[in-house]
């Protein structure tokens, strides 16, 4: 394992003003997104849509890495350039989602375990050859206090799988993005989210240590600390920023090069405002950045609407979100920038 190399890839993705585009929707998920714009989810439509994002001029100022789905890793641009090569040539590091999704955890109704470890070593070798420099694995933790969810067991099982994945990635020369997502679905309060997120992160770093994962060659992709969508009391931007920063400072070792948030169902504007507020509050041992899927793509997806006539409009919408999140990296974003 070349720790220096892993560390330099991790740091490049969260360089000044930069974050990550999560464009790794699985086939069922991208179909859901395309359904919203009445566009059929064919292999060609998915290729055209993602090409639109990847060929947005100037996006590389704000996007240091792009997470791809397996299908996209093997696709090419109109000019027959493989997407990983195209991204590399623009200075955006290509990576790959390697988990096989969250499945029901036997014996624990309502909880999930992420699958995909069997055969992962061989898959990672193949992805690396195709040009992937990093990988992503998403663990999912739900909160349903009335049912005792999350259980201690589900937290441990998911952290264990994340750590096994991360160790295999580093062995293969890929930077693991470690993503334990505490969902914002449900009625829980911001305090409940904070308590669960803290427990999850403590367990994740315990398991990473047990599995001998070198933290300098990883990135953490956590949820922000936020009230559940159905909670009657919603926290304001400042409260989310304070609770999130506190939770991360309590749990994430300083050896980690970067924390890159998922957006998890926040609106695009909320995700940017929250990131900005966290960065405006002070300095941290790690870079604090984004790895947004929906919060970077909702606007370009709508602007494109599946029409070849709207490619430029889609690119403009994507550029705007990338830029505003880039500004939020240093607390320079203002909501007035949303207009125009």
Binding mask 256-285 for ligand 13P (x = CB under 6 A): ------xxx---------------------
- CA-to-CA distance for 37 and 50, rounded, in angstroms? 15
Length of the chain: 340
Smallest separation, CB 154 to ligand 13P (Å):
18
Q: Of 22, 163, 275, 322, which one interacts with ligand 13P (CB under 6 A)?
A: 22
The pair of three-digit structure tokens given for residue 225, joined into one six-digit string: 């600390």
Task: Tell me: does residue 50 bind ligand 13P (CB under 6 A).
Answer: no
Binding mask 168-197 for ligand 13P (x = CB under 6 A): -----------x------------------
Contact 162, 115 (CB under 8 A): no
The CA radius of gyration of the chain, in Å to the nearest whole number, is: 19
Nearer of residues 258 and 293 to ligand 13P, judged by Cβ:
293
Q: Closest by alpha carbon to 174, among 182, 183, 165? A: 165
Q: State the catalytic residues.
A: 179, 221
Binding mask 211-250 for ligand 13P (x = CB under 6 A): ----------------------------------------
Q: Closest by alpha carbon to 291, among 262, 268, 320? A: 262
- CA-to-CA distance for 203 and 152, rounded, in angstroms? 10
- CA-to-CA distance for 154 and 141, rounded, in angstroms? 8
Task: Tell me: does residue 138 bind ligand 13P (CB under 6 A).
Answer: yes
- CA-to-CA distance for 296 and 206, rounded, in angstroms? 32
Nearer of residues 142 and 179 to ligand 13P, judged by Cβ:
179
- CA-to-CA distance for 206 and 86, rounded, in angstroms? 38
Smallest separation, CB 294 to ligand 13P (Å):
3
Q: Which stretch binds ligand 13P (CB under 6 A): 185-193, 201-209, 225-233, 291-299?
A: 291-299
The pair of three-digit structure tokens given for residue 332, joined into one six-digit string: 């320079």
Smallest separation, CB 235 to ligand 13P (Å):
18
Q: Of 65, 173, 293, 314, which one interacts with ligand 13P (CB under 6 A)?
A: 293
- CA-to-CA distance for 107 and 66, rounded, in angstroms? 36
Question: What does the binding site for ligand 13P look like in residue numbers (CB under 6 A)?
Answer: 22, 138, 179, 262-264, 292-295
């Amino acid at each position: 394992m070349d720790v220096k190399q892993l560390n330099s890839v991790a740091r490049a993705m969260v360089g000044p003003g930069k974050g990550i585009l999560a464009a790794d929707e699985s086939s069922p998920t991208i179909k859901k997104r395309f359904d919203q714009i009445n566009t059929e989810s064919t292999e060609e439509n998915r290729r055209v849509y993602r090409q639109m994002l990847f060929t947005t001029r100037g996006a590389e100022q704000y996007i240091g890495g792009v997470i791809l789905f397996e299908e996209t890793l093997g696709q090419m641009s109109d000019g027959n350039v493989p997407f990983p090569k195209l991204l590399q040539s623009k200075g955006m590091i290509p990576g790959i989602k390697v988990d096989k999704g969250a499945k029901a955890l036997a014996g624990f109704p309502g909880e999930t375990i992420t699958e995909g470890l069997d055969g992962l070593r061989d898959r990672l070798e193949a992805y690396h050859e195709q040009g992937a420099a990093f990988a992503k694995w998403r663990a999912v933790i739900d909160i349903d206090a009335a049912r005792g969810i999350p259980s201690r067991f589900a937290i441990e099982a998911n952290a264990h799988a994340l750590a096994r994945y991360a160790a295999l990635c580093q062995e293969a020369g890929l930077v693991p993005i470690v993503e334990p997502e505490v969902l914002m679905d449900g009625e829980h309060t911001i305090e409940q989210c904070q308590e669960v997120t803290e427990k999850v992160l403590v367990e994740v770093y315990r398991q990473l240590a047990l599995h001998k994962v070198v933290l300098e060659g990883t990135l953490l992709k956590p949820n922000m600390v936020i009230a559940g969508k159905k909670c009657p009391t919603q926290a304001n931007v400042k409260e989310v920023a304070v609770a999130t920063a506190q939770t991360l400072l309590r749990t994430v070792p300083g050896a980690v090069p970067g924390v890159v948030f998922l957006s998890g169902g926040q609106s695009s504007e909320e995700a940017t405002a929250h990131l900005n507020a966290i960065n405006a509050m002070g300095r941290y041992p790690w870079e604090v950045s984004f790895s947004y899927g929906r919060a970077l793509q909702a606007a370009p997806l709508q602007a494109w609407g599946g029409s070849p006539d709207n490619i430029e409009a889609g690119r403009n919408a994507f550029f705007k979100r990338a830029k505003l999140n880039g500004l939020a990296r240093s607390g320079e974003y203002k909501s007035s920038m949303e207009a125009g």
